Amino acid sequence: MSKLSYIDEENISNKRVLLRADFDVALDAHNTIADDFRIRQRIPTLKYLLEKKNKIICVSKLGRPKERDPKLSMKIIVQRLRQYLPGITIRLIDDFLTEKPVTFANQKENEILVLENIRYYPEEKQNDKAFAQKLANLADVYVNDAFAMCHRPEASIVGIPQLLPSYAGLQLKQEIKMISAVIKKPKKPMVVIIGGAKISTKIAVISRLIEIADYVILGGGLANVFFRAERYLIGKSICEYEMTLKARQLLYLAEQKGTKIILPTDVLFGDPNDTEKRGEIVHIKDNKIPNNKMILDIGPETKAYYGSLIAKAKTIIWNGPVGLFENPAYRQGTDFIYYAIAHNTDAISIVGGGDTLSAISKKEYLTNITHVSTGGGAMLEFIEKGTLPGIEALRD
């Protein structure tokens, strides 16, 4: 397999750099930035390239527009970048296809150009060759610093690296190194916590993790499928009933591999729209969840047991909230998992996932987590396969 080149291991200077950044931040109801973690994470790569006198052109998507949509303009990203990079001129390029060539030709050092939302162009998702060529024409080299996008075979991820000398940025490098180390040689015991809504999006990674972990702890909506596999009553909880057989297969695989799959023994049930009343605690085995109620969080006995396993772990991977954390009445389980991981400072811990990060990213002790991955789907696929299309595309 040919080698991956990282920007800090090569001498990239005085170049026009097309940087596939990841500024795909969460927006709130007022369309302002809810959390700029993804912007902050790119600052080291930007500064590194600037110090070496490179001229940077940033490419990123924001949200999922199908066409031009002013609500998803990179304008707010440009404004935030200006705060983090004082002294640097940062300009938005409204449409790079029609922009005067002189704008690019006259780009100065200490000037960053940010292209408008790349998903405004349908060719991006189609990985259109001619479109990738037009992007590649803007630069001498390509740098990918968008781990969370590397599982997507789009023009700015896999198309451009066919056309330019290509490198991984600092954030992508850290993601690759940290996650590879943990999946190749985990210190034991290794405890994995998988939560979230749908088991179907996580089956492949759970199968893989069963092979390497000692304990696979489940929670959240996806645990409901396993409750059904054991024929317990779950009221009107979310559940992918069609996955029940798959769940049984996972339990069987775990038994063969000697890995323990751990399910909640008690849960909170209630009404997802009621933010006042905390749910009622019930043991799953008692079959007492009414038909009109939903399981919305893990219960106290489960928290205590999960906490004890996390405390003893030497390697921890966590993806997926274990309850409906968006409702404050049902976020305690997810908070508890977070604090349990943050307090095990002996362990190497990796935490990732879009919703997982929005549940924790403003919390204290975040620096106690060894690695906070910006990848949701990308992290899961990387754990499963050990690589991603966007990473393979960088190999020379």
- Residue 161 or 323: the one with the smaller Cβ distance to ligand ADP is 323
Binds 169, which of ligand ADP, Mg ion, none (CB < 5 to 8 A, cut-off by type)? none
| 375 catalytic residue (yes or no) | no
**Residues 214-253 close enough to bind ligand ADP by CB under 6 A:** 220-221, 238
Residue from 326, 378, 389, 384 nearest 352 by CA: 378
Contacting residue, 319, 332, 344, 373, with ligand ADP by CB under 6 A: 319
Residue from 369, 380, 259, 279 nearest 324 by CA: 279
Helices (H), 186-280: 203-212, 223-229, 244-257
| 377 catalytic residue (yes or no) | yes
- Residue 272 or 354: the one with the smaller Cβ distance to Mg ion is 354
Binds 320, which of Mg ion, ligand ADP, none (CB < 5 to 8 A, cut-off by type)? ligand ADP
Q: Is the peptide bond before 189 cis (omega within 30 degrees of 0)?
A: yes
Residue 355: CB minimum distance to Mg ion, A: 4
**DSSP secondary structure of 284-333:** GGG----TT-EEEEE-HHHHHHHHHHHHH-SEEEEES-SS-TTSGGG-HH
User: Using the rule CB under 6 A, is 389 a contact of ligand ADP?
Assistant: no
Residue from 114, 122, 126, 117 nearest 62 by CA: 117
User: Using the rule CB under 5 A, is 63 a contact of Mg ion?
Assistant: no
Q: Which stretch binds ligand ADP (CB under 6 A): 24-32, 110-118, 209-217, 319-327?
A: 319-327
Contacting residue, 299, 321, 375, 389, with ligand ADP by CB under 6 A: 321
User: Token pair 């702890």 is at which residue?
Assistant: 217
Q: Which stretch binds ligand ADP (CB under 6 A): 100-108, 239-247, 322-330, 365-373?
A: 322-330
- Residue 320 or 390: the one with the smaller Cβ distance to ligand ADP is 320
- Position 65: which residue type? P
- Residue 161 or 353: the one with the smaller Cβ distance to ligand ADP is 353
CA-to-CA separations, 65 to 68, 108, 118, 119, in angstroms, rounded: 7, 31, 9, 6
Residue 137: CB minimum distance to Mg ion, A: 35
User: Using the rule CB under 6 A, is 323 a contact of ligand ADP?
Assistant: yes
C-alpha 137/C-alpha 364 separation (Å) is 44
Please check whether residue 352 is in contact with residue 229, taking contact to mean a CB–CB distance below 8 angstroms: no
Q: What are phi and psi of 319, to 5 degrees?
A: -140, 130
Catalytic residue among 169, 196, 221, 377: 377
Q: Map residues 259-288 to x or -, x wherever contact with ligand ADP holds by CB under 6 A.
A: ------------------------------
- Position 335: which residue type? D
Binds 306, which of Mg ion, ligand ADP, none (CB < 5 to 8 A, cut-off by type)? none
**Residues 345-384 close enough to bind ligand ADP by CB under 6 A:** 353-356, 376
Please check whether residue 278 is in contact with residue 329, taking contact to mean a CB–CB distance below 8 angstroms: yes
Contacting residue, 234, 296, 347, 360, with ligand ADP by CB under 6 A: 296
Binds 253, which of Mg ion, ligand ADP, none (CB < 5 to 8 A, cut-off by type)? none
DSSP β-bridge partners for residue 193 = 217, 318
Residue 202: CB minimum distance to ligand ADP, A: 7
Residue 363 DSSP one-character state: S
| 354 catalytic residue (yes or no) | yes
Altogether, the residues listed in the chain come to a count of 396
CA-to-CA separations, 95 to 14, 55, 59, 68, in angstroms, rounded: 25, 18, 12, 10
| 299 catalytic residue (yes or no) | no
- Residue 165 or 354: the one with the smaller Cβ distance to ligand ADP is 354
Residue by residue, what is the 3-state secondary structure of 119-154?
Answer: HHCHHHHCCCHHHHHHHHCCCCEEEECCHHHCCCCC
**Residues 300-359 close enough to bind Mg ion by CB under 5 A:** 354-355
Q: Map residues 55-74 to x or -, x wherever contact with ligand ADP holds by CB under 6 A.
A: --------------------
Site residues (CB under 6 A) for ligand ADP?
Answer: 195-197, 220-221, 238, 295-296, 319-321, 323-326, 353-356, 376
Site residues (CB under 5 A) for Mg ion?
Answer: 354-355
Active site residues: 38, 198, 354, 377
